[in-house]
Amino acid sequence: MKIIGIDIGGTGVKGVIIDEKGEVYVKDSIPTEAEKGADNLVKNIAAMIENMLSASDISKSEVAGVGVGCPGLIDSRHGTVVFAGNLYIKDYPLSSEISKRTGLSARITNDANAAALGEARFGAGRKYEDSILVTLGTGVGGGIVIGGRLFEGGSSAGTEIGHTVIVENGIKCTCGRRGCFERYASARALTAQTRAAMVKNPGSPMWKTYDKNSVCGKTPFDYMDDDPVAKSVVDGYIKHLACGIVNVANVFRPQVVMLGGGVSEQGERLTKPLQEIVDREIFVGTEYAPVKVVKATLGSDAGAFGAASLWIEN
């Protein structure tokens, strides 16, 4: 059985053909051209699918279906994109349009869900039934797999873990609330925390030697061994991140929490202190159902692999 996985991003669309064991037959990518609208996007995705099929010499009769991960609010049951601001798409029947153009059945889910399913099937979660992917990027994204199945919440509109408040009346969030997890634990938040600490401590090594215009989530980690200011930024960030992760773990009780996104590149410098806090704070302790914290392994491939996995039965 072959499956086609499509991961739609704000600037690029990735495609892959795999089998149920995760063997890759072909990969491809195209620009999203979001500003040209949904029909153009579907036309280009259909063309990429045809290209991948001919490049890999796979016939459509061998293909179980097309899985698509798409940003925004997705109605997976009806195969529609309810709203995807970055793609200028609203109430669009993406599944049926892809089917019309390709003659293949299509399933869709939110891109964060797709990435979580990819990591669960073929990445850091492959040994576990219950896993969560927490992506630390511009925001904090979450995807949840429990009992080997993708959990999307009611109306496939749940798992917005980045928009759960951890600091009541805290920093204003783009979603309209105050104190959301992602205002404290995203890469963008870490960058802001780093800048604030630098401005407050102009004598610190980080302040003295770093190019102020290129401060990012990596900066405090680069300096933490020799700069107490950098170290305190990292420690503070990890406390915020742990707070949200334990919240999610107490609600979903996964066997593993996988960290994705740029910040996760810090590996054990992040996962080790997080593991200590999770072990200390998880509800009723670690004896019955421990929760591991690890780095995700598929990187930017997770979405397309996970989208394809929408066609793999548990």
For the CB of residue 75, give the shortest distance to a second copy in the complex, in Å: 8
Q: Which stretch binds a second copy (CB under 8 A): 23-31, 115-123, 152-160, 265-273?
A: 152-160
Interaction between residue 158 and a second copy (CB under 8 A)? yes
Crossing angle of helices 38-56 and 94-102, in 10° steps, is 40
Contacts (Cβ under 8 Å, ≥6 apart) of 46:
98, 101, 102
Which member of 172, 251, 276, 300 binds a second copy (CB under 8 A)?
A: 251
Crossing angle of helices 302-309 and 111-122, in 10° steps, is 90
CA distance 284 to 174: 34
Interaction between residue 199 and a second copy (CB under 8 A)? no
How many residues sit close enough to a second copy to count as binding (CB under 8 A)? 46
Q: Select from 225, 184, 230, 192 the least CA-distant residue to 210.
A: 230
Interaction between residue 160 and a second copy (CB under 8 A)? yes
Which member of 22, 247, 262, 297 binds a second copy (CB under 8 A)?
A: 247
CA angle at 150 for the pair 145 and 152, rounded to the nearest 5°: 110
For the CB of residue 129, give the shortest distance to a second copy in the complex, in Å: 7
Crossing angle of helices 228-252 and 187-200, in 10° steps, is 150
CA angle at 265 for the pair 260 and 266, rounded to the nearest 5°: 120
- Which residue, 135 or 219, is less far from a second copy as judged by CB? 135
For the CB of residue 91, give the shortest distance to a second copy in the complex, in Å: 9
Interaction between residue 215 and a second copy (CB under 8 A)? no
Sheet of 63-70, strand order = 24-31, 12-19, 2-8, 63-70, 106-110
Which member of 280, 286, 300, 314 binds a second copy (CB under 8 A)?
A: 280
Return the SS3 of 73: strand
Q: Select from 308, 291, 251 the least CA-distant residue to 123.
A: 308
CA distance 227 to 225: 6
Both structure tokens of 71: 């940003």
Which member of 15, 79, 217, 254 binds a second copy (CB under 8 A)?
A: 254
Question: What is the 8-class DSSP label of residue 309?
Answer: H
Interaction between residue 127 and a second copy (CB under 8 A)? no
Interaction between residue 166 and a second copy (CB under 8 A)? yes
Interaction between residue 246 and a second copy (CB under 8 A)? yes
- Which residue, 73 or 104, is less far from a second copy as judged by CB? 73
- Which residue, 4 or 81, is less far from a second copy as judged by CB? 81
Q: Answer yes or no: are the C-beta atoms of 150 and 129 closer than 8 Å.
A: no
Which member of 23, 154, 212, 225 binds a second copy (CB under 8 A)?
A: 154
Interaction between residue 279 and a second copy (CB under 8 A)? no
Binding-site string for a second copy from residue 69 to residue 88, where x marks contact by CB under 8 A and - marks none: ----x-x------xx-----
Interaction between residue 163 and a second copy (CB under 8 A)? yes
Residues in touch with a second copy (CB under 8 A):
73, 75, 82-83, 129-130, 146-147, 151, 153-155, 157-161, 163-168, 170, 175-177, 184, 239-240, 243, 246-248, 250-255, 280-281, 283-284, 288-289
